[in-house]
Structure 1
Amino acid sequence: MRESADERHDRLLDLVREQGSSRVSDLAAELGVSTVTVRRDVEALAQRGLLDRVHGSVSWPRSAVAAAGPGSPPGGGGLVLGLLAPSATYYFAEVIRGAHDAAAQAGARLILRISDYRPEEDKARTEGLLAAGAEGLLIAPGWQAAGDQAAYGDWMSELSVPAVLLERQPAPGSPLDDMDRVCSDHRHGVLLAVRHLIRLGHGTPLLVARADSPTALAVRAGYDEALGALGLEQPRPVIDSVPAELDRGRFEEAVRAVQAAVTTGGVTAALVHNDVDAIHLVQRLAELGVRVPEDLALVAYDDEVAALADTPLTAVAPPKRQVGLYGTRLLVERLSTGPRGRPLGRREQEEPGQHLALLPRLHVRVSCGAAAPR
């Protein structure tokens, strides 16, 4: 079976950690791939803070070595923490960076595996982290649909090591509801956006959102709650958003629905999940004669690339880096409660479990500056 990029990344990180530093050409020979492939891998890992690059050589991050203390080996003699994430790009790149920073501060080694949003592989990837020596786990399952937790998640309640869920909220009363978790409060983020648009003088904003991730589902639920809290009525059903690159036809349907809401329905504001979909939407609406912000005040959700749009987009920014940072600190705290190699179980611990909800922020830019409705 052909080795995946994630598996190659794991091997590359293991080699650098063991050797302290290595030349790209040597790594290519040991991995059995081209130097071009290794350079590309090193670039990706360096951008996530997992490696340092210096003139054709690669080394273990200086921050991790320093945190481990003088005289420590590159991998450190401290804890080994495993992180399972559905992706290493877009939203989760910042979560990983926060976890890496917190692990370095604690003198711990962080090892990463990626599920590519395939929840059926979460368990096997996690077993790989444990086999690699992880003493505690940070887990962001690859759930996408509402039923994925029930279908693919119960195994996490039986883990033999401490674990913290990241950016996932299990169903109340489910086996995973007792686990420690650190999440962005997306409902609060949606409330910030809706309230901001209302204060600008607009009627109830339209919601344009995906339905293919826990964040998307939380945004939809938060929209209903925000309208109830503010005493607003929904102007029309939520418009289903689809990535333009995946289904151009359905994306065009969403654009036309927004256009109709603005031109014939009196809608003057919208909240769009996520940044990339919002940028595509604004570009296509301009071609159809609907201008942002003149005709439509728009707020995006995620704030990954919103500021880079032609018309910089006002956006809700979940505290992604802090999710990784706080989750790792909580995991290190859990591991410190028992003898090394035998963390205490929940019933033996004096400290209660924790569900941390971190509040998003609203970054106001040009796209929400449309005048009050005519």
Structure 2
Amino acid sequence: MRASAAQRHDRLLELVRERGTARVADLADRLGVSAVTVRRDVEALAERGLLDRVHGSVSWPERHALPQKRAGGGGLVLGMLAPSATYYFAEVIRGASEAAERAGARIVLRISDYRPAEDRARTEGLLEAGAEGLLVAPGWCGPEDTATHSDWITELPVPSVLLERLPVPGSALDELDRVSSDHRHGALLALRHLVGLGHGTPLLVARADSPTALAVRSGYGEALGALGLRAPAPVIDSVPAEQDPEGFEAAAQALRAAVVSGEATAALVHNDVDAIQMVQRLAELGLRVPEDLALIAYDDEVAALAGTPLTAVAPPKRHVGRQAAMLLFERLTGGAAQAADEPRRHVTLLPRLNVRSSCGAGGGSGDVQA
């Protein structure tokens, strides 16, 4: 099965991180792709500050190098576990790095590649590398991962902040500091915008393979109730087109059938990449966005780059990373007495809706808060 660009980027980062420096030709051989593809990937990752390029070679940035334990007076070392360093989490990492730099701290980064069984070992590696506090975004993909791979987080020996993850209510992990986006509110923003444009109950086309996807699904149901909308047909299950062409085609055909039958004139699609590919496939099937279907994407990573710029819900990814790093820094510098007395915090940040052209609302290519 061919890996997606995001998976390839994460594997490339892992290889460079392990070696420190690697030649493009060697990376192409290890990844099983052409040197041209690797050069394109390296350029994209370098633009995000995740890699350094040096005359045909690629280096792990010194600012992400594994430090040793502090020795009197040095800046704090913050460990960060993320499931990915690309797409959604690239911005979360950037926000945390910016806040750490302003506070005179350093970030040590480890990537789990959405393998929750490896989260604990990766985090122990951060501690061995000198991390004095931890920003933890487990690689959970579904509720079973939350139940099976979470208890260890409550046993960490240093102050820790949970990132973009919601534990089981009332669990021990629920008592940990955390910072997250309110994806339920994001779903409400999307539906309210579509209903305000005169559409009936919008459909949801969504994945089910990540905490964000599950939160969007849950938020969609709550938004229907809040807006007094009738329940539509079941959620259309979305899958990556490059990994499951048949599943993606089934989703496209289901959405087309709903539009042709008059069941729906609007849809919310999670995520950006799926939304762009869905618009392309619908065009091949004779449906136009926004003329036949008003569409909103979720994530706003690349939605503005679509042929018809997509209106999109934008979770505050960089702000999540920034707020989490600031909260962790405060825990580490507040002193033991203050830490014992200070209540734990659950910081929830609201997404925004960036209105563009895909709803036919005259949004153009600009971003407007809604």
Q: TM-score range by the shorter chain?
A: 0.7 to 0.9
Query: What is the distance in 2 between the residues matched to 1:79 and 1:37?
Result: 35
Query: Residues 121 and 156 (structure 1 numbering): CA distance in 2 closer, same or farther, change over 3 Å?
Result: same
Q: Report the AA paired with residue 125 of structure 2.
A: G
Describe the shift of the 1:239–1:349 C-alpha distance in structure 2 as closer, same or farther (beyond 3 A). same
**Cross-structure match for 1:34:** 23
Please say if residues 78 and 107 of structure 2, whose CA atoms lie closer than 8 Å, have aligned partners that are also in contact. yes
Residue 174, structure 1, aligned to residue 183, structure 2: no
Deviation string 1:312-343 (CA, Å, 9 cap, x unpaired) is: 100000000001000000000000023xxxxx
Structure having the higher Rg:
1
What is the aligned partner in structure 2 of residue 156 from structure 1? 153
Counterpart-to-counterpart distance in 2, 1:326 and 1:103: 10
CA drift at 1:77: 1.7
Say whether residues 1:362 and 2:353 are aligned partners.
yes
Contact 2:23 2:56 in 1 (8 A): no
d(CA) in 2 for partners of 1:306, 1:286: 17
Q: Deviations over 1:199-257 (max 9, x none)?
A: 00000100000000000000000000000111111221110001111111111111111
CA contact under 8 A between 2:204 and 2:269: conserved in structure 1?
yes
Specify which of 97, 104, 107 is matched with residue 107 of structure 1.
104
CA RMSD of aligned residues (A): 2.6
Q: Distance in 1 between matches of 2:295 and 2:18?
A: 44
1:197 has 2:194 as partner: yes
C-alpha spacing 1:264/1:11, structure 2 compared with 1 (3 Å): closer
What TM-score results when the alignment is normalised by the length of structure 2?
0.83
Distance change (3 Å), C-alpha of 1:256 and 1:118: same
Gaps of 5+ in 2: 1-10, 28-37, 65-69, 363-370
Give the superposition deviation at 1:53. Answer: 6.4
Q: Bigger shift: 296-305 or 231-240?
A: 231-240
Is the aligned partner of 1:325 residue 2:322?
yes
Report the Cα distance in structure 2 between the residues aligned to 1:345 and 1:117, rounded to whole angstroms. Answer: 37
AA aligned to 1:366 is S
- Distance, in Å, in 2 between the alignment partners of 1:272 and 1:7 is 30
- In 2, Cα distance between the equivalents of 1:43 and 1:171? 40
C-alpha deviation, 1:8, in angstroms = 4.6
User: Which residue among 210, 217, 220 is the counterpart of 1:220?
Assistant: 217
Q: For the structure 1 residues 216 and 97, does the alpha-carbon distance in structure 2 shift closer, same or farther, using more than 3 Å as the test?
A: same
Give the direction of change, closer, same or farther, for the CA distance of 1:53–1:243 in structure 2 (3 Å limit).
closer
Partner of residue 87, structure 1: 84
Q: Describe the SS at the equivalent of 1:147.
A: helix
Percent identity of the aligned residues?
A: 69
**2:97 is paired with a residue of what secondary structure?**
helix
Structure 1 residues 303 and 297, CA gap change in structure 2 (3 angstroms) = same
* Aligned equivalent of 2:261, options 259, 264, 274: 264
CA shift for structure 1 position 48: 3.7
In the alignment, residue 263 of structure 1 is paired with which amino acid? V
1:209 equivalent to 2:206? Answer yes
Aligned to 2:343: 352
Q: Which sections of structure 1, spanning at least 5 residues, go unmatched?
A: 14-27, 65-72, 339-343
Stretch of structure 1 that moved more, 235-244 or 76-85: 76-85
Q: Does the C-alpha gap of structure 1 residues 79 and 122 become closer, same or farther in structure 2, counting only changes over 3 Å?
A: same
Q: Given that residues 24 and 56 in structure 2 are in contact (C-alpha distance below 8 angstroms), is that contact kept between their aligned partners in structure 1?
A: no
TM-score, structure 1 normalization: 0.82
Listed one character per residue, the Cα deviations across residues 255-289 of structure 1 (whole Å, up to 9, x for unaligned) are 11101100013310000000000011111111111
Aligned to 1:97: 94
**How far has the Cα of 1:45 moved from its partner?**
6.0
- Separation in 2 of the partners of 1:51 and 1:106? 23
